[in-house]
Amino acid sequence: MPASSPPPAGQRERQVRHRAARLEDRVHEIRERWARRRGHRPTIVPYTGYGSTEWVRVLCRVLLSKPVDPHETSKRRRRRGEQGIRGWRSFTSVPVGGVPVVIEVGGTRIEVLADRGGVVDTKVPVSLEPGWHRVTLHTEGAEPVEAPIWIVGPEVRFGIISDVDDTVMVTALPRPLVAFWNTFVLDEHARIPTPGMAVLFERLVRSHPASPVIYLSTGAWNVAPTLTRFLSRNLYPAGPLLLTDWGPTHDRWFRSGREHKQENLRRLAEEFPDVRWLLIGDDGQHDEEHYERFALEHPDKVAAVAIRRLSKGEAVLAGGRTRTEQHAAGVPWVSANDGSTIADRLADLGVL
């Protein structure tokens, strides 16, 4: 009998895709048809990106939402474009996968496709000067929006990577009821900043004014606009949020938060080979393990590790503590209960 030819690539992908992912895709298809019948249109939610003088990493998400009321003032329309879909609606809005998104930056124009969760995460070759720039994003049926991009100069040798939950903001995220409250109910005005951490970041960016500040979290992209407003309101430096998309993947029921953090740490080490990073986290969500592993793999890429120690009450809400007994040789490691004390200990090391 003649050998059968292999199925097309798209069909092979569907064959190996996890049944949970296939079910999720089916649910999205039904919800998308229903939303479009109600007059919902594609909306691009822009996220802060970063890059070098030769490329940029562009981040955004395409969701279906109610069209902007033409009677709204231009100021309100602009605010909606900058802040995206707010609160619980960001979780109930329907992601639109497979749609083309046009990216315009620095005279370069390219078109990419959003993934099955509506997320665009792509690298664009472009020549830009160090500092802040704007990227224009648009898709058919949606108003163009702009996303800020931080360009790291070739002379920069220091950067900051920080966790979010229980590091810059007290959330106790692993506890299901508290996570639900913080995510769907609590306004960013009521979220609690971690004591002294804004002071620590302010001292760091003053000592290293051109350095990138990147917030790496296992939180969902849905909360990015809320987190961005929280950071700004509490005087944290602006910077990209590297989040993840909740739900099944092509081969598993849920995405791995650990893999998300480890992959992005490795990616940043490759993208900025001359930068040494200050890694900031807490002892309640495996940050010590992630940073220890990264420091063992890339000791020359780590300037220091700073761990915020949770209080007894916070540790209970966070599900306990994680303690790493062995630290990478030659990598400075400090810890304290608040950001101000961490700043003082980093100053003793010469990091500040």
- 170 lies in the same domain as 108: no
Global model pTM greater than 0.85:
no
CATH of residue 126: 2.60.40.10
The token pair at 79 is 């605010």
Q: Which one of 87, 122, 151 terminates a domain?
A: 151
Query: What letter does residue 165 receive in the DSSP assignment?
Result: B
Residue 244 in any domain: the answer is: yes
CA angle at residue 107 from 120 to 122, to 5 degrees?
Answer: 20
Per-position pLDDT tens, the chain of length 352: 444 444 433 443 444 555 655 665 666 666 656 666 676 688 899 999 999 999 999 999 998 877 665 555 555 455 544 444 544 455 557 888 889 999 999 999 999 999 888 899 999 999 999 999 999 999 987 889 999 999 999 999 999 999 998 899 887 555 455 555 555 555 666 678 899 999 999 999 999 999 999 999 888 888 888 889 999 999 999 999 999 876 544 444 445 567 889 999 999 999 999 999 999 998 876 788 889 999 999 999 999 999 998 865 555 444 444 555 456 667 899 999 999 999 999 999 999 8
Number of domains the chain contains: 2
- CA proximity to 172, closest of 310, 317, 284: 317
Q: Which one of 99, 130, 151 terminates a domain?
A: 151
- 144 lies in the same domain as 174: no
Q: Where are the beta strands (DSSP E) in the chain?
A: 41-51, 55-65, 94-95, 100-105, 108-113, 119-125, 131-138, 145-151, 158-162, 169-170, 192-193, 213-220, 241-244, 276-282, 302-308, 333-336
- 125 lies in the same domain as 243: no
- 93 lies in the same domain as 168: no
Residue 1 in any domain: the answer is: no
- 129 lies in the same domain as 271: no
Q: Which one of 119, 151, 183 terminates a domain?
A: 151
Residue 52 domain boundaries: 16-29+39-151
Residue 10 in any domain: the answer is: no
